[in-house]
Amino acid sequence: MTDYKNKVQKILSARISPPLCYLHSFGCQQNVSDGEKILGLLTELGYGITNDATSADMIIYNTCAVRENAELKIYGLIGNLKHLKENNPELIIGICGCMAQQEHVVEKIKKTYKQVDLVFGTFALNELPKLVYNVLTERKLMVDITEYNNEIPEGIPAVRNDKIKTGVPIMYGCNNFCSYCIVPYVRGRERSRKPGAILKEVKELVDAGYKEIMLLGQNVNSYGKTLENPITFSELLRMINNIEGDFKIRFMSPHPKDATKEFIDAIVECDKVCKHLHLPLQSGSNRILDEMNRRYTVEKYMEIIDYARSRIPDFSFSTDIIIGFPNETYEDFKCTLDVMRKVKYDNVFSFIYSKRTGTKAALIDDKTSAEDKGKWMRELLEVQREVSSEFFKRFEGRVLDVLFDSEGKNDNWYTGKSDEFIIVEAKSDEIIIGQRKKVKITKVFNWALQGEIIN
């Protein structure tokens, strides 16, 4: 990589001014983290960064493949770049990430989107200097969607978008093969980073002033199984918790099949770990869970909820739910509503099922109508509003620890998130972005809290 880095630097240094790169990452926090490393590599090569695509010498879309709408959006954006390429033939257009890892997507780009110069998948980040060099010197489409099974490359620089909160990948890939999910096919098998590398990165970020670290992985609580000396995610949490400094720890996303009492105990007992758990349910029907290959039952899921609530009675949960999995019935859907009412989620991220080519669920002859799926989605949203509005009342009068990260809609108002991952608004005559404050909650809405800063 160093050899190609030097070659690209030599080419770019001959230009009158440094070329500019525009990058947009779509999808999950893992993609955001990958995008930050892409920018880190490009700045090392000699590129500057711009937020204006029309002024860029290189445009890269870091894509998501979880739902069809995400892919259709990318195709639309690529199409819109055609006129930029016509006006500036030297413009380099790149597509990377999960969508780009799929062979049928590459074939479509080759056939339909001739303006694209560069396509690379989720395994080719370390090859970026070589790919850029080849594009600059050969001026033809370069593609790398090879699945590499080597060790995770460490030491790749990152240009982080946020100076307050940031993500740290602890593992890559997924072994679960949920029947609806494309991720194992585009991200590969599970590969865990060594704990020493993770601890070193977290410590450097804390020393740099970051106040919140999000640990990232497709299934974080299966972390460590592939290591030469395996450790559990719970053990990793405790190790990170022991790092000195003023910071909090979050993580995304665990899998219910790997959620244990040891896992909950680590969350509860580690003072820096936020008391919130995003635990994807996907469906409240055991029949549908089996069809999804989720490998847990509603009863197993509720055991984890009940144990967490036995440790902290108002423990905060959020979840993901898929509406309209192939041949889901209204009776199946009502089971999901039943779980929602029992758990009392603070937040639900709900999606209508999206068929993904290459997954087992895509082969099912789905007899559930789009009309029913839309109707159920509206019903779920109404139930969630009712549940969260009622359960949010538990915060009224309480003092919450809030990290403020943005300005509010009105003057002197600021917005942040509590340890429970709840949006909190408060007024301050001083700028408090990047600061953690104690806030006494005075008003409760169905989507956020409002309060007064007391310290």
Predicted local confidence at residue 147, as pLDDT: 86
- Cis before residue 283, ω within 30 degrees of 0? no
Average pLDDT, integer, range 288-307: 98
Q: Provide the CATH number for the domain formed by 2-144 in this structure.
A: 3.40.50.12160
Predicted local confidence at residue 150, as pLDDT: 66
**Does domain 275-393 correspond to CATH entry 3.30.750.200?**
yes
Topology alike, domains 162-253 and 275-393: yes
- Domain range annotation of the chain: 2-144, 162-253, 275-393, 396-453
Predicted local confidence at residue 447, as pLDDT: 84
What does the alpha-carbon distance between residue 391 and residue 263 come to, in Å, rounded to a whole number?
24
Predicted local confidence at residue 93, as pLDDT: 98
Average pLDDT, integer, range 269-292: 98
What does the alpha-carbon distance between residue 261 and residue 221 come to, in Å, rounded to a whole number?
12
User: What is the dihedral sign for C-alpha 305, 308, 311, 313?
Assistant: negative
Sequence-ordered list of residues with C-beta below 8 angstroms from that of 54, at least 6 positions apart, any chain: 84
What does the alpha-carbon distance between residue 452 and residue 397 come to, in Å, rounded to a whole number?
10
- Chain center to CA of 376: 26
Average pLDDT, integer, range 330-353: 97
Is pLDDT at 151 greater than 80 in this prediction?
Answer: no
Query: For the segment 343-402, what is each residue's pLDDT rounded down to a tens digit?
Result: 999 999 999 999 999 999 999 999 999 999 999 999 999 999 999 888 899 999 999 999
Is pLDDT at 446 greater than 90 in this prediction?
Answer: no
Predicted local confidence at residue 390, as pLDDT: 87
Taking a C-beta distance cutoff of 8 angstroms, is the pair 231, 202 a contact? no
Q: Provide the CATH number for the domain formed by 162-253 in this structure.
A: 3.30.750.210
Average pLDDT, integer, range 137-145: 94
Predicted local confidence at residue 161, as pLDDT: 86
118-120 sheet: strands from edge to edge: 48-49, 20-25, 58-63, 92-97, 118-120, 142-144
Query: For the segment 30-83, what is each residue's pLDDT rounded down to a tens digit?
Result: 999 999 999 999 999 999 999 999 999 999 999 999 988 889 999 999 999 999
- Residue 404: pLDDT band with limits 50, 70, 90: very high
| In this structure, CATH architecture of domain 396-453 | Beta Barrel (2.40)
Is pLDDT at 192 greater than 90 in this prediction?
Answer: yes
Average pLDDT, integer, range 272-288: 97
For the chain, what percent of residues have pLDDT higher than 90?
91
Query: For the segment 428-437, what is each residue's pLDDT rounded down to a tens digit?
Result: 999 999 999 9
Is pLDDT at 218 greater than 70 in this prediction?
Answer: yes
pTM beyond 0.75: yes
Average pLDDT, integer, range 224-249: 96
Is pLDDT at 1 greater than 90 in this prediction?
Answer: no
Taking a C-beta distance cutoff of 8 angstroms, is the pair 288, 294 a contact? no
